[in-house]
Structure 1
Protein backbone atom coordinates (compact mmCIF):
# COMPACT_ATOMS: atom_id res chain seq x y z
CA UNK A 1 0.00 0.00 0.00
CA UNK A 2 1.30 3.45 -0.95
CA UNK A 3 1.21 5.98 1.89
CA UNK A 4 -0.39 9.44 2.08
CA UNK A 5 1.11 12.35 4.04
CA UNK A 6 -0.38 15.48 5.59
CA UNK A 7 0.89 19.05 5.21
CA UNK A 8 3.59 18.49 7.84
CA UNK A 9 4.98 15.40 6.14
CA UNK A 10 3.47 13.03 8.72
CA UNK A 11 1.82 9.87 7.43
CA UNK A 12 -1.95 9.60 7.74
CA UNK A 13 -3.27 7.35 10.50
CA UNK A 14 -4.87 4.09 9.38
CA UNK A 15 -7.76 2.46 11.19
CA UNK A 16 -10.33 -0.34 11.02
CA UNK A 17 -13.91 0.08 12.19
CA UNK A 18 -16.73 -2.44 12.62
CA UNK A 19 -19.71 -0.66 11.08
CA UNK A 20 -23.07 -1.87 9.74
CA UNK A 21 -21.96 -5.50 9.64
CA UNK A 22 -18.64 -4.95 7.82
CA UNK A 23 -15.04 -4.12 8.65
CA UNK A 24 -14.12 -0.76 7.11
CA UNK A 25 -10.61 0.56 6.46
CA UNK A 26 -10.08 4.31 6.70
CA UNK A 27 -7.42 6.97 7.17
CA UNK A 28 -7.48 10.17 9.21
CA UNK A 29 -5.27 13.26 9.26
CA UNK A 30 -5.25 16.91 10.29
CA UNK A 31 -7.06 18.95 12.92
CA UNK A 32 -10.13 21.13 12.86
CA UNK A 33 -13.65 20.72 11.48
CA UNK A 34 -14.32 17.07 10.50
CA UNK A 35 -14.51 16.49 6.74
CA UNK A 36 -15.56 13.12 5.29
CA UNK A 37 -14.28 12.29 1.78
CA UNK A 38 -16.12 9.68 -0.32
CA UNK A 39 -14.30 8.37 -3.39
CA UNK A 40 -15.68 7.08 -6.68
CA UNK A 41 -15.04 4.11 -8.99
CA UNK A 42 -12.73 2.16 -9.09
CA UNK A 43 -10.78 4.09 -6.51
CA UNK A 44 -9.92 3.91 -2.80
CA UNK A 45 -8.87 6.33 -0.05
CA UNK A 46 -5.63 6.75 -2.03
CA UNK A 47 -7.54 8.84 -4.57
CA UNK A 48 -7.18 11.75 -2.13
CA UNK A 49 -3.38 11.63 -1.79
CA UNK A 50 -2.85 15.02 -3.44
CA UNK A 51 -5.84 16.67 -1.75
CA UNK A 52 -5.32 15.56 1.85
CA UNK A 53 -2.15 17.61 2.55
CA UNK A 54 -3.94 20.69 1.20
CA UNK A 55 -6.87 20.13 3.56
CA UNK A 56 -5.16 19.06 6.78
CA UNK A 57 -4.21 22.61 7.86
CA UNK A 58 -7.94 23.31 8.13
CA UNK A 59 -9.84 20.03 8.61
CA UNK A 60 -9.80 16.72 10.43
CA UNK A 61 -10.02 14.60 7.29
CA UNK A 62 -11.60 11.13 7.29
CA UNK A 63 -11.20 9.08 4.09
CA UNK A 64 -12.56 5.52 4.08
CA UNK A 65 -12.37 2.74 1.55
CA UNK A 66 -16.06 2.34 0.78
CA UNK A 67 -17.89 -0.98 0.94
CA UNK A 68 -16.60 -3.17 -1.90
CA UNK A 69 -13.39 -1.17 -2.41
CA UNK A 70 -9.80 -1.19 -1.20
CA UNK A 71 -9.21 -2.91 2.11
CA UNK A 72 -12.84 -2.67 3.27
CA UNK A 73 -15.02 -5.80 3.27
CA UNK A 74 -16.76 -6.97 0.11
CA UNK A 75 -19.77 -8.93 1.38
CA UNK A 76 -22.17 -10.96 -0.78
CA UNK A 77 -24.32 -8.85 -3.08
CA UNK A 78 -27.52 -9.62 -1.19
CA UNK A 79 -26.10 -7.80 1.83
CA UNK A 80 -26.32 -4.51 -0.02
CA UNK A 81 -24.23 -2.10 -2.08
CA UNK A 82 -26.94 0.51 -2.47
CA UNK A 83 -26.55 4.16 -1.52
CA UNK A 84 -28.44 4.00 1.77
CA UNK A 85 -26.40 1.02 2.95
CA UNK A 86 -23.16 2.86 2.19
CA UNK A 87 -24.55 6.00 3.82
CA UNK A 88 -25.17 3.96 6.96
CA UNK A 89 -21.63 2.53 6.78
CA UNK A 90 -19.97 5.93 6.78
CA UNK A 91 -22.42 7.52 9.22
CA UNK A 92 -21.55 4.79 11.74
CA UNK A 93 -17.85 5.34 11.01
CA UNK A 94 -18.14 9.03 11.84
CA UNK A 95 -20.03 8.20 15.03
CA UNK A 96 -17.31 5.75 16.03
CA UNK A 97 -14.72 8.50 15.47
CA UNK A 98 -16.68 10.94 17.62
CA UNK A 99 -17.94 13.19 14.83
CA UNK A 100 -21.70 13.70 15.18
CA UNK A 101 -21.73 16.57 12.67
CA UNK A 102 -19.32 16.96 9.79
CA UNK A 103 -18.68 18.39 6.35
CA UNK A 104 -19.08 16.03 3.40
CA UNK A 105 -17.40 15.85 -0.01
CA UNK A 106 -18.08 13.18 -2.64
CA UNK A 107 -16.99 12.68 -6.23
CA UNK A 108 -18.39 10.32 -8.86
CA UNK A 109 -20.28 7.46 -7.19
CA UNK A 110 -19.08 8.83 -3.86
CA UNK A 111 -21.18 11.94 -4.55
CA UNK A 112 -24.33 9.84 -4.86
CA UNK A 113 -23.50 8.18 -1.55
CA UNK A 114 -22.88 11.63 -0.07
CA UNK A 115 -26.29 12.81 -1.27
CA UNK A 116 -27.96 9.76 0.27
CA UNK A 117 -26.20 10.46 3.58
CA UNK A 118 -27.15 14.14 3.58
CA UNK A 119 -30.74 13.45 2.53
CA UNK A 120 -31.32 10.62 5.02
CA UNK A 121 -29.43 12.24 7.93
CA UNK A 122 -29.50 16.01 7.28
CA UNK A 123 -29.00 16.76 10.96
CA UNK A 124 -25.50 15.31 10.76
CA UNK A 125 -24.18 17.05 7.65
CA UNK A 126 -23.00 20.66 7.92
CA UNK A 127 -22.26 21.16 4.24
CA UNK A 128 -22.38 18.98 1.14
CA UNK A 129 -19.93 19.16 -1.76
CA UNK A 130 -21.49 17.19 -4.64
CA UNK A 131 -19.06 16.81 -7.51
CA UNK A 132 -18.91 15.17 -10.94
CA UNK A 133 -21.99 12.96 -10.62
CA UNK A 134 -25.67 12.64 -11.47
CA UNK A 135 -28.15 10.74 -9.32
CA UNK A 136 -29.50 7.33 -10.26
CA UNK A 137 -33.02 7.68 -11.59
CA UNK A 138 -32.64 11.45 -11.88
CA UNK A 139 -30.67 11.75 -15.11
CA UNK A 140 -27.74 9.35 -14.78
CA UNK A 141 -29.22 6.51 -16.82
CA UNK A 142 -30.48 8.62 -19.70
CA UNK A 143 -26.88 9.54 -20.54
CA UNK A 144 -26.15 5.83 -21.04
CA UNK A 145 -28.67 5.59 -23.90
CA UNK A 146 -27.25 4.48 -27.25
CA UNK A 147 -28.48 7.32 -29.41
CA UNK A 148 -26.68 9.63 -31.86
CA UNK A 149 -27.26 12.58 -29.51
CA UNK A 150 -25.79 10.87 -26.46
CA UNK A 151 -22.89 9.21 -28.28
CA UNK A 152 -21.82 12.49 -29.87
CA UNK A 153 -22.42 14.67 -26.80
CA UNK A 154 -18.90 14.13 -25.44
CA UNK A 155 -17.47 15.60 -28.64
CA UNK A 156 -19.62 18.72 -28.21
CA UNK A 157 -18.73 19.21 -24.50
CA UNK A 158 -22.40 19.37 -23.51
CA UNK A 159 -22.79 15.92 -22.02
CA UNK A 160 -21.17 12.52 -21.69
CA UNK A 161 -22.03 9.05 -22.97
CA UNK A 162 -22.07 6.68 -19.98
CA UNK A 163 -21.79 3.42 -21.92
CA UNK A 164 -20.35 1.58 -18.92
CA UNK A 165 -23.44 1.78 -16.70
CA UNK A 166 -25.46 -1.02 -18.37
CA UNK A 167 -22.29 -3.02 -19.06
CA UNK A 168 -21.21 -3.04 -15.41
CA UNK A 169 -24.75 -3.93 -14.34
CA UNK A 170 -24.73 -7.26 -16.22
CA UNK A 171 -24.00 -10.14 -13.80
CA UNK A 172 -20.75 -12.09 -14.30
CA UNK A 173 -19.92 -10.93 -17.85
CA UNK A 174 -17.80 -7.88 -16.95
CA UNK A 175 -15.78 -9.96 -14.48
CA UNK A 176 -15.10 -12.57 -17.16
CA UNK A 177 -13.95 -9.96 -19.67
CA UNK A 178 -11.93 -7.75 -17.30
CA UNK A 179 -10.26 -10.38 -15.05
CA UNK A 180 -6.61 -10.75 -16.02
CA UNK A 181 -6.79 -7.49 -17.98
CA UNK A 182 -7.50 -5.18 -15.04
CA UNK A 183 -4.72 -2.72 -15.70
CA UNK A 184 -5.33 -2.38 -19.44
CA UNK A 185 -9.06 -1.85 -18.91
CA UNK A 186 -9.10 0.48 -15.92
CA UNK A 187 -6.12 2.59 -16.96
CA UNK A 188 -7.75 3.27 -20.33
CA UNK A 189 -11.14 3.92 -18.71
CA UNK A 190 -9.87 6.32 -16.02
CA UNK A 191 -7.55 8.28 -18.31
CA UNK A 192 -10.22 8.58 -21.03
CA UNK A 193 -12.27 10.64 -18.55
CA UNK A 194 -9.50 13.20 -17.93
CA UNK A 195 -8.37 16.45 -19.51
CA UNK A 196 -4.76 15.66 -18.67
CA UNK A 197 -4.12 11.88 -18.67
CA UNK A 198 -0.74 12.44 -16.97
CA UNK A 199 -2.60 13.54 -13.83
CA UNK A 200 -3.30 9.83 -13.24
CA UNK A 201 0.08 8.45 -12.26
CA UNK A 202 1.35 4.91 -12.67
CA UNK A 203 1.62 4.78 -8.87
CA UNK A 204 -2.10 5.53 -8.44
CA UNK A 205 -3.12 3.06 -11.14
CA UNK A 206 -0.95 0.35 -9.56
CA UNK A 207 -2.50 0.99 -6.14
CA UNK A 208 -6.06 0.67 -7.44
CA UNK A 209 -5.31 -2.34 -9.65
CA UNK A 210 -3.75 -4.16 -6.71
CA UNK A 211 -7.04 -3.79 -4.81
CA UNK A 212 -9.21 -4.65 -7.83
CA UNK A 213 -7.16 -7.78 -8.47
CA UNK A 214 -7.43 -9.00 -4.88
CA UNK A 215 -10.16 -11.52 -3.91
CA UNK A 216 -13.56 -9.91 -4.37
CA UNK A 217 -12.08 -6.63 -5.58
CA UNK A 218 -13.58 -6.53 -9.05
CA UNK A 219 -16.93 -7.94 -7.93
CA UNK A 220 -17.20 -5.48 -5.04
CA UNK A 221 -16.58 -2.56 -7.37
CA UNK A 222 -19.17 -3.70 -9.90
CA UNK A 223 -21.82 -4.41 -7.28
CA UNK A 224 -22.12 -0.65 -6.71
CA UNK A 225 -23.37 -0.42 -10.32
CA UNK A 226 -25.67 -3.40 -9.96
CA UNK A 227 -27.37 -1.49 -7.16
CA UNK A 228 -28.18 1.32 -9.60
CA UNK A 229 -31.86 0.49 -10.04
CA UNK A 230 -32.32 0.23 -6.28
CA UNK A 231 -30.53 3.56 -5.91
CA UNK A 232 -33.02 5.06 -8.35
CA UNK A 233 -35.90 3.92 -6.13
CA UNK A 234 -34.12 5.26 -3.05
CA UNK A 235 -33.56 8.63 -4.71
CA UNK A 236 -37.18 8.83 -5.80
CA UNK A 237 -38.13 8.77 -2.12
CA UNK A 238 -35.31 11.02 -0.90
CA UNK A 239 -36.02 13.82 -3.36
CA UNK A 240 -39.55 14.20 -1.98
CA UNK A 241 -37.92 16.29 0.75
CA UNK A 242 -35.57 18.85 -0.73
CA UNK A 243 -32.24 19.43 0.97
CA UNK A 244 -31.88 22.77 2.72
CA UNK A 245 -28.26 22.54 3.91
CA UNK A 246 -25.54 24.49 2.07
CA UNK A 247 -24.47 22.69 -1.11
CA UNK A 248 -21.55 23.24 -3.47
CA UNK A 249 -21.34 21.61 -6.88
CA UNK A 250 -18.31 21.23 -9.10
CA UNK A 251 -18.31 19.83 -12.61
CA UNK A 252 -15.65 19.43 -15.28
CA UNK A 253 -16.08 20.10 -19.01
CA UNK A 254 -14.45 16.77 -19.90
CA UNK A 255 -17.28 14.95 -18.13
CA UNK A 256 -20.48 16.15 -16.41
CA UNK A 257 -19.82 19.90 -16.53
CA UNK A 258 -22.89 22.06 -15.78
CA UNK A 259 -25.11 18.99 -15.44
CA UNK A 260 -23.89 18.66 -11.84
CA UNK A 261 -25.29 22.03 -10.79
CA UNK A 262 -28.56 21.39 -12.63
CA UNK A 263 -28.91 18.07 -10.80
CA UNK A 264 -28.55 19.51 -7.31
CA UNK A 265 -30.79 22.47 -8.06
CA UNK A 266 -33.58 19.99 -8.79
CA UNK A 267 -33.28 18.19 -5.44
CA UNK A 268 -32.39 21.02 -3.06
CA UNK A 269 -33.57 24.47 -2.03
CA UNK A 270 -30.72 25.97 -3.95
CA UNK A 271 -27.00 25.58 -4.43
CA UNK A 272 -24.98 28.26 -2.65
CA UNK A 273 -21.80 27.76 -4.70
CA UNK A 274 -21.26 26.21 -8.11
CA UNK A 275 -18.18 25.92 -10.32
CA UNK A 276 -17.01 24.29 -13.51
CA UNK A 277 -13.27 23.64 -13.43
CA UNK A 278 -11.92 24.54 -16.85
CA UNK A 279 -9.25 22.29 -18.37
CA UNK A 280 -10.26 19.47 -16.05
CA UNK A 281 -11.85 16.06 -16.27
CA UNK A 282 -13.65 13.61 -14.02
CA UNK A 283 -10.92 13.12 -11.38
CA UNK A 284 -11.03 16.55 -9.74
CA UNK A 285 -8.86 15.67 -6.75
CA UNK A 286 -6.02 14.53 -9.02
CA UNK A 287 -6.42 16.94 -11.94
CA UNK A 288 -7.10 20.11 -9.94
CA UNK A 289 -6.23 19.48 -6.27
CA UNK A 290 -5.29 23.08 -5.46
CA UNK A 291 -8.49 24.49 -6.98
CA UNK A 292 -10.58 21.86 -5.23
CA UNK A 293 -8.93 22.40 -1.85
CA UNK A 294 -9.44 26.14 -2.15
CA UNK A 295 -13.12 25.71 -3.07
CA UNK A 296 -13.76 23.28 -0.21
CA UNK A 297 -12.00 25.48 2.33
CA UNK A 298 -13.75 28.66 1.27
CA UNK A 299 -17.16 26.99 1.10
CA UNK A 300 -17.02 24.93 4.27
CA UNK A 301 -15.17 27.16 6.69
CA UNK A 302 -17.74 29.91 6.13
CA UNK A 303 -20.42 27.67 7.63
Structure 2
Protein backbone atom coordinates (compact mmCIF):
# COMPACT_ATOMS: atom_id res chain seq x y z
CA UNK A 1 0.00 0.00 0.00
CA UNK A 2 1.24 3.50 -0.87
CA UNK A 3 1.56 5.64 2.26
CA UNK A 4 -0.03 9.11 2.41
CA UNK A 5 0.91 11.95 4.76
CA UNK A 6 -0.45 15.33 5.84
CA UNK A 7 1.36 18.70 5.74
CA UNK A 8 3.20 17.86 8.97
CA UNK A 9 4.40 14.49 7.71
CA UNK A 10 1.94 12.57 9.88
CA UNK A 11 0.32 9.55 8.22
CA UNK A 12 -3.33 9.76 7.21
CA UNK A 13 -5.92 7.87 9.24
CA UNK A 14 -7.50 4.78 7.69
CA UNK A 15 -11.08 3.73 8.37
CA UNK A 16 -13.90 1.42 7.32
CA UNK A 17 -17.52 2.49 6.98
CA UNK A 18 -20.57 0.32 6.45
CA UNK A 19 -22.83 2.32 4.17
CA UNK A 20 -25.62 1.50 1.73
CA UNK A 21 -25.01 -2.24 1.93
CA UNK A 22 -21.24 -2.16 1.35
CA UNK A 23 -18.06 -1.60 3.32
CA UNK A 24 -15.98 1.36 2.14
CA UNK A 25 -12.34 1.98 2.92
CA UNK A 26 -11.39 5.64 3.35
CA UNK A 27 -8.67 7.89 4.73
CA UNK A 28 -8.92 11.18 6.61
CA UNK A 29 -6.36 13.87 7.38
CA UNK A 30 -6.08 17.52 8.40
CA UNK A 31 -8.32 20.05 10.06
CA UNK A 32 -10.75 22.71 8.97
CA UNK A 33 -13.42 22.74 6.25
CA UNK A 34 -14.42 19.19 5.25
CA UNK A 35 -13.41 18.38 1.68
CA UNK A 36 -14.48 15.11 0.04
CA UNK A 37 -12.09 13.90 -2.70
CA UNK A 38 -13.56 11.50 -5.28
CA UNK A 39 -11.10 9.63 -7.49
CA UNK A 40 -11.62 8.39 -11.05
CA UNK A 41 -10.70 5.24 -12.99
CA UNK A 42 -8.68 3.06 -12.40
CA UNK A 43 -7.50 4.84 -9.27
CA UNK A 44 -7.99 4.70 -5.49
CA UNK A 45 -7.64 7.10 -2.56
CA UNK A 46 -3.87 7.04 -3.12
CA UNK A 47 -4.36 9.11 -6.28
CA UNK A 48 -4.39 12.12 -3.93
CA UNK A 49 -0.90 11.37 -2.59
CA UNK A 50 0.60 14.68 -3.79
CA UNK A 51 -2.48 16.82 -3.17
CA UNK A 52 -3.37 15.90 0.42
CA UNK A 53 -0.30 17.44 2.15
CA UNK A 54 -0.93 20.70 0.28
CA UNK A 55 -4.42 21.01 1.78
CA UNK A 56 -4.48 19.54 5.27
CA UNK A 57 -3.54 22.75 7.07
CA UNK A 58 -6.86 24.24 5.90
CA UNK A 59 -9.14 21.28 5.15
CA UNK A 60 -10.25 18.05 6.75
CA UNK A 61 -9.75 15.65 3.87
CA UNK A 62 -11.97 12.59 3.37
CA UNK A 63 -10.71 10.37 0.55
CA UNK A 64 -12.57 7.06 0.06
CA UNK A 65 -11.99 4.14 -2.24
CA UNK A 66 -15.18 4.09 -4.28
CA UNK A 67 -17.37 1.00 -4.31
CA UNK A 68 -15.62 -1.44 -6.64
CA UNK A 69 -12.16 0.09 -6.20
CA UNK A 70 -9.19 -0.34 -3.90
CA UNK A 71 -9.97 -1.88 -0.53
CA UNK A 72 -13.70 -1.16 -0.71
CA UNK A 73 -16.28 -3.88 -1.43
CA UNK A 74 -16.83 -5.00 -5.02
CA UNK A 75 -20.37 -6.39 -5.00
CA UNK A 76 -21.93 -8.33 -7.85
CA UNK A 77 -24.77 -6.18 -9.12
CA UNK A 78 -26.31 -5.02 -12.38
CA UNK A 79 -27.40 -1.72 -10.83
CA UNK A 80 -24.91 -1.28 -7.97
CA UNK A 81 -22.55 0.93 -9.95
CA UNK A 82 -24.98 3.61 -11.10
CA UNK A 83 -24.14 7.15 -10.07
CA UNK A 84 -27.09 7.30 -7.66
CA UNK A 85 -25.82 4.24 -5.78
CA UNK A 86 -22.20 5.44 -5.78
CA UNK A 87 -23.19 8.83 -4.41
CA UNK A 88 -25.54 7.35 -1.81
CA UNK A 89 -22.42 5.55 -0.51
CA UNK A 90 -20.52 8.83 -0.27
CA UNK A 91 -23.34 10.84 1.27
CA UNK A 92 -23.81 8.19 3.96
CA UNK A 93 -20.07 8.16 4.61
CA UNK A 94 -19.99 11.91 5.21
CA UNK A 95 -23.06 11.66 7.44
CA UNK A 96 -21.47 8.89 9.51
CA UNK A 97 -18.40 11.07 9.94
CA UNK A 98 -20.69 13.87 11.20
CA UNK A 99 -19.99 16.29 8.36
CA UNK A 100 -23.24 18.09 7.63
CA UNK A 101 -21.68 20.69 5.31
CA UNK A 102 -18.76 19.90 3.04
CA UNK A 103 -17.10 20.74 -0.26
CA UNK A 104 -16.45 18.18 -3.00
CA UNK A 105 -13.66 17.78 -5.55
CA UNK A 106 -13.82 15.03 -8.16
CA UNK A 107 -11.82 14.12 -11.24
CA UNK A 108 -12.57 11.88 -14.21
CA UNK A 109 -15.54 9.62 -13.37
CA UNK A 110 -15.23 10.92 -9.82
CA UNK A 111 -16.20 14.37 -11.12
CA UNK A 112 -19.49 12.98 -12.44
CA UNK A 113 -20.13 11.51 -9.00
CA UNK A 114 -19.15 14.85 -7.46
CA UNK A 115 -21.78 16.61 -9.57
CA UNK A 116 -24.43 14.05 -8.70
CA UNK A 117 -23.76 14.16 -4.96
CA UNK A 118 -23.88 17.97 -5.06
CA UNK A 119 -27.12 18.05 -7.06
CA UNK A 120 -28.80 15.38 -4.90
CA UNK A 121 -27.62 16.81 -1.56
CA UNK A 122 -28.04 20.54 -2.03
CA UNK A 123 -28.42 21.22 1.68
CA UNK A 124 -25.06 19.62 2.43
CA UNK A 125 -22.60 20.35 -0.40
CA UNK A 126 -21.28 23.92 -0.31
CA UNK A 127 -18.80 23.93 -3.23
CA UNK A 128 -18.28 21.68 -6.26
CA UNK A 129 -14.90 21.34 -7.96
CA UNK A 130 -15.41 19.42 -11.22
CA UNK A 131 -12.22 18.28 -12.93
CA UNK A 132 -11.54 16.70 -16.31
CA UNK A 133 -14.89 15.11 -17.11
CA UNK A 134 -18.16 15.49 -18.95
CA UNK A 135 -21.55 14.21 -17.85
CA UNK A 136 -23.27 11.13 -19.23
CA UNK A 137 -26.21 12.11 -21.40
CA UNK A 138 -24.98 15.68 -21.82
CA UNK A 139 -22.25 15.43 -24.45
CA UNK A 140 -19.95 12.67 -23.26
CA UNK A 141 -21.31 10.06 -25.66
CA UNK A 142 -20.73 12.25 -28.72
CA UNK A 143 -16.99 12.32 -27.97
CA UNK A 144 -16.99 8.50 -28.12
CA UNK A 145 -18.22 8.40 -31.74
CA UNK A 146 -15.89 7.07 -34.44
CA UNK A 147 -15.70 10.25 -36.53
CA UNK A 148 -12.97 12.17 -38.31
CA UNK A 149 -13.59 15.14 -36.00
CA UNK A 150 -13.07 13.05 -32.86
CA UNK A 151 -10.04 11.27 -34.29
CA UNK A 152 -8.37 14.59 -35.13
CA UNK A 153 -9.18 16.25 -31.79
CA UNK A 154 -5.92 15.25 -30.09
CA UNK A 155 -3.77 16.61 -32.90
CA UNK A 156 -5.59 19.94 -32.67
CA UNK A 157 -5.49 20.01 -28.82
CA UNK A 158 -9.25 20.21 -28.42
CA UNK A 159 -9.78 17.00 -26.48
CA UNK A 160 -9.41 13.34 -27.31
CA UNK A 161 -11.50 10.56 -28.78
CA UNK A 162 -13.15 8.71 -25.88
CA UNK A 163 -12.97 5.28 -27.54
CA UNK A 164 -12.88 3.44 -24.22
CA UNK A 165 -16.46 4.22 -23.18
CA UNK A 166 -18.18 1.84 -25.65
CA UNK A 167 -15.35 -0.70 -25.36
CA UNK A 168 -15.67 -0.96 -21.57
CA UNK A 169 -19.47 -1.20 -21.91
CA UNK A 170 -19.34 -4.46 -23.91
CA UNK A 171 -20.05 -7.47 -21.62
CA UNK A 172 -17.18 -9.90 -21.04
CA UNK A 173 -14.95 -8.89 -23.97
CA UNK A 174 -12.79 -6.30 -22.16
CA UNK A 175 -12.32 -8.72 -19.26
CA UNK A 176 -11.05 -11.39 -21.65
CA UNK A 177 -8.64 -9.03 -23.41
CA UNK A 178 -7.29 -7.20 -20.33
CA UNK A 179 -6.95 -10.12 -17.86
CA UNK A 180 -3.30 -11.07 -17.55
CA UNK A 181 -2.24 -7.78 -19.15
CA UNK A 182 -3.54 -5.44 -16.44
CA UNK A 183 -0.29 -3.60 -15.83
CA UNK A 184 0.53 -3.16 -19.50
CA UNK A 185 -2.97 -1.94 -20.37
CA UNK A 186 -3.71 0.41 -17.48
CA UNK A 187 -0.25 1.93 -17.25
CA UNK A 188 -0.20 2.64 -20.99
CA UNK A 189 -3.74 4.03 -20.82
CA UNK A 190 -3.08 6.39 -17.89
CA UNK A 191 0.23 7.69 -19.24
CA UNK A 192 -1.23 8.20 -22.72
CA UNK A 193 -3.76 10.60 -21.15
CA UNK A 194 -1.05 12.70 -19.49
CA UNK A 195 0.91 15.72 -20.65
CA UNK A 196 3.79 14.50 -18.46
CA UNK A 197 3.81 10.67 -18.43
CA UNK A 198 6.46 10.62 -15.70
CA UNK A 199 3.89 12.09 -13.29
CA UNK A 200 2.52 8.57 -12.77
CA UNK A 201 4.96 6.88 -10.38
CA UNK A 202 5.45 3.15 -10.59
CA UNK A 203 4.35 2.53 -7.00
CA UNK A 204 0.92 4.07 -7.65
CA UNK A 205 0.50 2.15 -10.89
CA UNK A 206 1.51 -1.08 -9.16
CA UNK A 207 -1.00 -0.53 -6.33
CA UNK A 208 -3.90 0.23 -8.65
CA UNK A 209 -3.12 -2.71 -10.90
CA UNK A 210 -2.90 -5.05 -7.91
CA UNK A 211 -6.44 -4.05 -6.90
CA UNK A 212 -7.74 -4.45 -10.45
CA UNK A 213 -6.21 -7.92 -10.68
CA UNK A 214 -7.68 -8.96 -7.32
CA UNK A 215 -10.96 -10.94 -7.15
CA UNK A 216 -13.77 -8.86 -8.63
CA UNK A 217 -11.53 -5.87 -9.33
CA UNK A 218 -11.70 -5.70 -13.11
CA UNK A 219 -15.36 -6.70 -13.26
CA UNK A 220 -16.35 -4.00 -10.75
CA UNK A 221 -14.29 -1.31 -12.48
CA UNK A 222 -15.86 -2.08 -15.84
CA UNK A 223 -19.34 -2.18 -14.32
CA UNK A 224 -19.00 1.55 -13.59
CA UNK A 225 -18.95 1.99 -17.38
CA UNK A 226 -22.02 -0.18 -17.84
CA UNK A 227 -24.51 2.27 -16.37
CA UNK A 228 -24.30 5.12 -18.93
CA UNK A 229 -27.98 5.33 -19.75
CA UNK A 230 -29.12 5.30 -16.13
CA UNK A 231 -26.48 7.93 -15.33
CA UNK A 232 -27.60 9.98 -18.32
CA UNK A 233 -31.22 9.97 -17.12
CA UNK A 234 -30.07 10.99 -13.65
CA UNK A 235 -27.98 13.90 -14.95
CA UNK A 236 -30.69 15.15 -17.28
CA UNK A 237 -33.22 15.15 -14.45
CA UNK A 238 -30.89 16.88 -12.01
CA UNK A 239 -29.89 19.53 -14.57
CA UNK A 240 -33.48 20.81 -14.75
CA UNK A 241 -32.69 22.71 -11.56
CA UNK A 242 -29.23 24.26 -12.04
CA UNK A 243 -26.81 24.26 -9.14
CA UNK A 244 -26.53 27.60 -7.37
CA UNK A 245 -23.47 26.80 -5.27
CA UNK A 246 -20.03 27.92 -6.49
CA UNK A 247 -18.61 25.55 -9.11
CA UNK A 248 -15.00 25.37 -10.27
CA UNK A 249 -14.50 23.63 -13.63
CA UNK A 250 -10.96 22.57 -14.51
CA UNK A 251 -10.00 21.13 -17.88
CA UNK A 252 -6.65 20.19 -19.42
CA UNK A 253 -6.09 20.84 -23.13
CA UNK A 254 -4.46 17.44 -23.52
CA UNK A 255 -7.76 15.72 -22.67
CA UNK A 256 -11.14 17.41 -22.00
CA UNK A 257 -10.01 21.04 -22.15
CA UNK A 258 -12.75 23.63 -22.68
CA UNK A 259 -15.47 20.95 -22.68
CA UNK A 260 -15.37 20.91 -18.85
CA UNK A 261 -16.37 24.55 -18.41
CA UNK A 262 -18.93 24.35 -21.22
CA UNK A 263 -20.45 21.34 -19.46
CA UNK A 264 -20.74 22.97 -16.06
CA UNK A 265 -22.32 26.12 -17.44
CA UNK A 266 -25.18 23.90 -18.63
CA UNK A 267 -25.92 22.66 -15.10
CA UNK A 268 -24.84 25.51 -12.78
CA UNK A 269 -25.23 29.27 -12.56
CA UNK A 270 -22.04 30.24 -10.71
CA UNK A 271 -19.08 28.73 -12.58
CA UNK A 272 -15.42 29.70 -12.65
CA UNK A 273 -13.38 27.97 -15.34
CA UNK A 274 -9.72 26.99 -15.60
CA UNK A 275 -8.19 25.47 -18.73
CA UNK A 276 -4.59 24.35 -18.27
CA UNK A 277 -2.21 24.18 -21.22
CA UNK A 278 0.61 22.12 -19.71
CA UNK A 279 -1.45 19.34 -18.15
CA UNK A 280 -3.24 16.14 -19.03
CA UNK A 281 -6.07 14.14 -17.52
CA UNK A 282 -4.61 13.55 -14.02
CA UNK A 283 -4.72 17.03 -12.48
CA UNK A 284 -3.75 16.00 -8.94
CA UNK A 285 -0.67 14.10 -10.13
CA UNK A 286 0.51 16.43 -12.88
CA UNK A 287 -0.19 19.82 -11.30
CA UNK A 288 -0.87 19.29 -7.56
CA UNK A 289 0.44 22.70 -6.46
CA UNK A 290 -1.73 24.57 -8.97
CA UNK A 291 -4.79 22.49 -8.10
CA UNK A 292 -4.23 22.98 -4.37
CA UNK A 293 -3.87 26.74 -4.77
CA UNK A 294 -7.08 26.91 -6.82
CA UNK A 295 -8.99 24.81 -4.26
CA UNK A 296 -7.73 26.96 -1.39
CA UNK A 297 -8.89 30.13 -3.15
CA UNK A 298 -12.16 28.61 -4.31
CA UNK A 299 -13.40 27.14 -1.03
CA UNK A 300 -13.68 30.03 1.41
Same fold flag (TM > 0.5): yes
Q: 3-state SS of the aligned residue for 1:225?
A: coil
Does 1:180 find its partner at 2:176?
no
Unmatched runs of 5 consecutive residues or more in structure 2: none
Equivalences for residues 1-303 of structure 1 within 5 A = 1-271=1-271, 273-301=272-300
Q: 3-state SS of the aligned residue for 2:106?
A: strand
Deviations 1:257-293, CA, capped at 9 Å, x for gaps: 111000000111130x211122100000000000000
Instruction: Give 1:80 shift.
Output: 1.3
Instruction: Give 1:159 shift.
Output: 2.3
Equivalent pair of 2:158/2:254 in contact (CA under 8 Å): no
Instruction: Give 1:77 shift.
Output: 2.2
224-233 or 77-86: which moved more? 77-86
Equivalent pair of 1:264/1:270 in contact (CA under 8 Å): no
Instruction: Give 1:197 shift.
Output: 0.2
Question: What do you get for the CA RMSD once the two structures are aligned?
Answer: 0.7
Distance 1:198 1:253 in 2: 18
Unmatched runs of 5 consecutive residues or more in structure 1: none
Deviations 1:179-203, CA, capped at 9 Å, x for gaps: 0000000000000000000000111
Distance 1:159 1:36 in 2: 27
Distance 2:31 2:76 in 1: 36
Distance 2:237 2:180 in 1: 40
Equivalent pair of 1:196/1:281 in contact (CA under 8 Å): yes
Instruction: Give 1:79 shift.
Output: 4.5
Equivalent pair of 2:79/2:227 in contact (CA under 8 Å): no
